[in-house]
Amino acid sequence: MNRFEIESASARIDAGLGSFIRQTPLWKLPGGVLGVNGAEVWLKLEHLQVGGSFKARGMLNRLLAHPMPASGVIVASGGNAGIATAAAARALGVACEVFVPEVSPEAKRARLRDLGARVVVTGASYAEAFAACLARQRETGALLTHAYDQPEVVAGAGTLAREIEAQGRAVPDTVLVSVGGGGLIGGIAAWFEQRARVVALEPEGAPTLYRAREAGHPVDVTVGGIAADSLGARRIGDIAWGLTQQHVKDALLLSDDAIGAAQHWLWKEMKLAVEPAAALGLAALQTGAYRARADEKVVLILCGANMDPSRLA
């Protein structure tokens, strides 16, 4: 995975269904506006993307890159990848089946049904839902879209980094990236390579990359906590593992309390309604887990907004 693959993904998306993907806003703010001393913070409002998350980029790229069987497309997802796949499938006029774990919020399931997807709720975790999805795919022959560990999915996610650089008219110093299975950080790292410092952020309850680094290779972890519905992969993806080994030096863990506080701060102070996974960057800055220099340009990616809004009350 490299910059050429990401450029190719961008061209494929533009040629295949360019009007589907939104160019989401990039806000450049003084750190003080976000309760952070110093630094210039770039907020990438990717929660405003089609389907409510960055996943739309990779899912559409995957669908456009392969012939579509009559049985359509199938995916296992905690919610966001499924929503993105269902939205892309509807735009392309193909059938979509989504397997979600029991931990997935009802708000995400309802959104999937609204998009015309057949929703199957099974398993206590993403890994169990994925196993059921694979069994079903062998029966139907549908195109399998993986939530985070396929080249087209990672390259599609990388178009987000490409867009940040173009909008910012500069390479930022640092990009703070939430990690579940690793599709987003894989794409971000592949685009910026060594030109920007990419920092991996994970909840303490879902430390797939952190534990892999301790072990020296990807391992299964027990997942839970506030962001488990979207950062609940049990193991870091192989593609992301390779890319982060090459391009990502730092992997940090954050508590549920810090993540929840940052999520509520974004709503209370800026009226940005995002899911917990989107708040890890701000949590890292506000807690001091990541300390930015006064002259540093730091990107926070608000990666998703698919959650029950009553939790922000």
Structure tokens given for 162: 């490409």
What class does CATH assign to 3-54+151-312?
A: alpha beta
By DSSP bridging, strand 40-44 and strand 26-30 are antiparallel
Q: How do the domains of the chain map onto residue ranges?
A: 3-54+151-312, 55-145
Is pLDDT of 232 > 80? no
Return the C-alpha torsion angle 280, 275, 108, 233, nearest 10: 10
Check residue 18 and give its pLDDT.
85
Q: What is the H or E stretch that residue 16 is in?
A: helix 3-17
The structural architecture, per CATH, of the domain 55-145 is 3-Layer(aba) Sandwich (3.40)
pLDDT digits (tens, 9 = 90+) for 136-195: 999 999 999 999 999 999 999 999 999 999 999 999 999 999 999 999 999 999 999 999
- The answer to which of 81-85, 232-236, 258-262 has the lowest mean pLDDT is 232-236
**pTM of the predicted model as reported, rounded to 2 decimal places:** 0.94
CA-to-CA distance for 6 and 171, rounded, in angstroms? Answer: 16
